[in-house]
Amino acid sequence: MNRLTSPAWALAAIGLAAFGLAAQAQELGQHLEAIQLKAGMHLIRAEVAATPAQRQAGLMYRRDLDSNDGMLFVFDAPSPQCFWMKNTPTALTIAFVADDGSIVNLADMAPQSEDSHCSAKPVRFTLEMRQGWFAKRGIKAGFKLLGAPFKP
Protein backbone atom coordinates (compact mmCIF):
# COMPACT_ATOMS: atom_id res chain seq x y z
CA MET A 1 0.00 0.00 0.00
CA ASN A 2 1.27 3.47 -0.87
CA ARG A 3 1.81 5.74 2.13
CA LEU A 4 1.75 8.93 0.11
CA THR A 5 -1.62 10.58 0.18
CA SER A 6 -2.97 12.79 -2.59
CA PRO A 7 -1.67 16.01 -0.97
CA ALA A 8 1.78 14.42 -0.61
CA TRP A 9 1.78 13.45 -4.29
CA ALA A 10 0.75 16.99 -5.18
CA LEU A 11 3.60 18.43 -3.12
CA ALA A 12 6.05 16.02 -4.74
CA ALA A 13 4.82 17.01 -8.20
CA ILE A 14 5.16 20.72 -7.36
CA GLY A 15 8.67 20.10 -6.05
CA LEU A 16 9.67 18.27 -9.23
CA ALA A 17 8.17 21.02 -11.39
CA ALA A 18 10.03 23.69 -9.42
CA PHE A 19 13.25 21.69 -9.77
CA GLY A 20 12.66 21.43 -13.52
CA LEU A 21 12.11 25.20 -13.80
CA ALA A 22 15.24 25.89 -11.76
CA ALA A 23 17.26 23.54 -13.98
CA GLN A 24 15.88 25.20 -17.10
CA ALA A 25 16.70 28.67 -15.74
CA GLN A 26 20.18 27.41 -14.92
CA GLU A 27 20.60 26.12 -18.47
CA LEU A 28 19.56 29.44 -19.97
CA GLY A 29 21.31 31.72 -17.47
CA GLN A 30 20.08 35.12 -16.39
CA HIS A 31 19.15 37.86 -18.84
CA LEU A 32 19.30 41.42 -17.49
CA GLU A 33 18.39 44.90 -18.68
CA ALA A 34 20.99 46.19 -21.13
CA ILE A 35 22.60 49.53 -21.89
CA GLN A 36 24.70 50.66 -24.82
CA LEU A 37 28.42 51.31 -24.46
CA LYS A 38 30.88 52.48 -27.09
CA ALA A 39 34.40 51.27 -27.72
CA GLY A 40 35.56 53.69 -30.40
CA MET A 41 33.26 53.04 -33.36
CA HIS A 42 32.06 49.72 -31.92
CA LEU A 43 28.73 49.48 -30.10
CA ILE A 44 28.33 47.10 -27.18
CA ARG A 45 25.03 45.86 -25.80
CA ALA A 46 25.90 45.31 -22.13
CA GLU A 47 23.55 43.66 -19.69
CA VAL A 48 24.01 45.31 -16.30
CA ALA A 49 24.69 43.18 -13.22
CA ALA A 50 24.37 45.63 -10.33
CA THR A 51 23.11 43.60 -7.36
CA PRO A 52 25.11 41.00 -5.46
CA ALA A 53 22.87 38.19 -6.76
CA GLN A 54 23.14 39.42 -10.37
CA ARG A 55 26.93 39.74 -10.10
CA GLN A 56 27.25 36.29 -8.53
CA ALA A 57 25.29 34.64 -11.37
CA GLY A 58 26.91 36.75 -14.10
CA LEU A 59 27.05 34.88 -17.40
CA MET A 60 26.85 31.43 -15.82
CA TYR A 61 25.11 28.88 -18.02
CA ARG A 62 24.85 31.35 -20.94
CA ARG A 63 25.52 30.01 -24.43
CA ASP A 64 23.59 32.65 -26.37
CA LEU A 65 25.94 35.63 -26.17
CA ASP A 66 25.86 37.51 -29.48
CA SER A 67 29.06 38.94 -30.96
CA ASN A 68 28.62 42.50 -29.59
CA ASP A 69 26.88 41.50 -26.36
CA GLY A 70 28.48 41.44 -22.96
CA MET A 71 27.86 41.98 -19.28
CA LEU A 72 28.83 45.05 -17.28
CA PHE A 73 29.35 44.37 -13.59
CA VAL A 74 28.79 47.46 -11.44
CA PHE A 75 30.08 47.65 -7.87
CA ASP A 76 29.32 50.29 -5.21
CA ALA A 77 32.90 51.54 -4.91
CA PRO A 78 36.28 50.83 -6.49
CA SER A 79 37.97 47.78 -4.98
CA PRO A 80 40.14 44.90 -6.18
CA GLN A 81 37.89 42.65 -8.30
CA CYS A 82 38.50 38.98 -9.08
CA PHE A 83 36.42 36.75 -11.36
CA TRP A 84 36.28 33.09 -12.31
CA MET A 85 34.35 31.05 -14.86
CA LYS A 86 32.61 28.38 -12.78
CA ASN A 87 29.53 27.12 -14.67
CA THR A 88 30.26 29.48 -17.58
CA PRO A 89 30.40 27.57 -20.90
CA THR A 90 31.59 30.44 -23.10
CA ALA A 91 35.21 31.63 -23.23
CA LEU A 92 35.30 35.30 -22.21
CA THR A 93 37.67 38.23 -21.98
CA ILE A 94 37.16 40.49 -18.99
CA ALA A 95 38.04 44.19 -18.97
CA PHE A 96 38.60 45.79 -15.59
CA VAL A 97 37.38 49.35 -16.00
CA ALA A 98 38.05 52.55 -14.02
CA ASP A 99 35.34 55.11 -13.19
CA ASP A 100 36.24 57.20 -16.26
CA GLY A 101 35.81 54.21 -18.61
CA SER A 102 39.54 53.53 -19.03
CA ILE A 103 40.45 49.86 -19.25
CA VAL A 104 42.89 49.05 -16.46
CA ASN A 105 43.70 45.51 -17.62
CA LEU A 106 42.25 42.63 -19.63
CA ALA A 107 42.25 38.90 -18.96
CA ASP A 108 41.19 35.93 -21.10
CA MET A 109 39.15 33.41 -19.13
CA ALA A 110 38.71 29.74 -20.05
CA PRO A 111 35.25 28.16 -19.82
CA GLN A 112 34.31 26.26 -16.65
CA SER A 113 37.56 27.31 -14.92
CA GLU A 114 37.88 28.24 -11.27
CA ASP A 115 41.12 30.17 -11.91
CA SER A 116 40.92 33.74 -10.58
CA HIS A 117 41.48 36.74 -12.84
CA CYS A 118 41.95 39.99 -10.92
CA SER A 119 42.09 43.71 -11.55
CA ALA A 120 45.54 45.32 -11.52
CA LYS A 121 44.11 48.07 -9.28
CA PRO A 122 40.79 48.83 -7.57
CA VAL A 123 37.93 49.26 -10.08
CA ARG A 124 34.17 49.75 -9.90
CA PHE A 125 33.33 48.18 -13.27
CA THR A 126 34.16 45.06 -15.22
CA LEU A 127 32.98 44.19 -18.72
CA GLU A 128 32.85 40.60 -19.98
CA MET A 129 32.75 39.96 -23.73
CA ARG A 130 33.32 36.86 -25.89
CA GLN A 131 36.99 35.92 -25.81
CA GLY A 132 38.92 37.78 -28.48
CA TRP A 133 36.40 40.62 -28.87
CA PHE A 134 38.80 43.25 -27.53
CA ALA A 135 41.87 41.84 -29.30
CA LYS A 136 40.13 41.72 -32.70
CA ARG A 137 39.40 45.43 -32.37
CA GLY A 138 42.86 46.40 -31.10
CA ILE A 139 41.47 47.41 -27.70
CA LYS A 140 44.05 47.23 -24.91
CA ALA A 141 44.66 48.57 -21.41
CA GLY A 142 44.36 52.37 -21.44
CA PHE A 143 41.57 52.39 -24.07
CA LYS A 144 38.56 54.41 -22.93
CA LEU A 145 35.01 53.05 -23.12
CA LEU A 146 32.12 55.49 -23.34
CA GLY A 147 28.66 55.20 -21.82
CA ALA A 148 26.34 56.42 -19.10
CA PRO A 149 28.06 54.68 -16.17
CA PHE A 150 31.46 56.26 -16.84
CA LYS A 151 32.41 59.71 -15.55
CA PRO A 152 34.21 62.01 -18.03
Q: What is the pTM of this model?
A: 0.82
Pairing of strands 34-39, 103-109: unpaired
- State pLDDT tens for residues 17-29: 444 434 444 456 8
Q: What is the DSSP string of 13-41?
A: HHHHHHHHHHHHHHHH-----EEEEEETT
- State pLDDT tens for residues 81-116: 999 999 999 999 999 999 999 999 999 999 999 999
- State pLDDT tens for residues 39-73: 999 999 999 999 999 999 999 999 889 999 999 99
Pairing of strands 42-49, 92-97: unpaired
Residues ≥6 apart with Cβ < 8 Å to 140: 103, 106, 134
Backbone angles phi, psi at 7, to 5 degrees: -60, -35
Pairing of strands 103-109, 69-79: unpaired
Helices (H), 29-105: 52-57
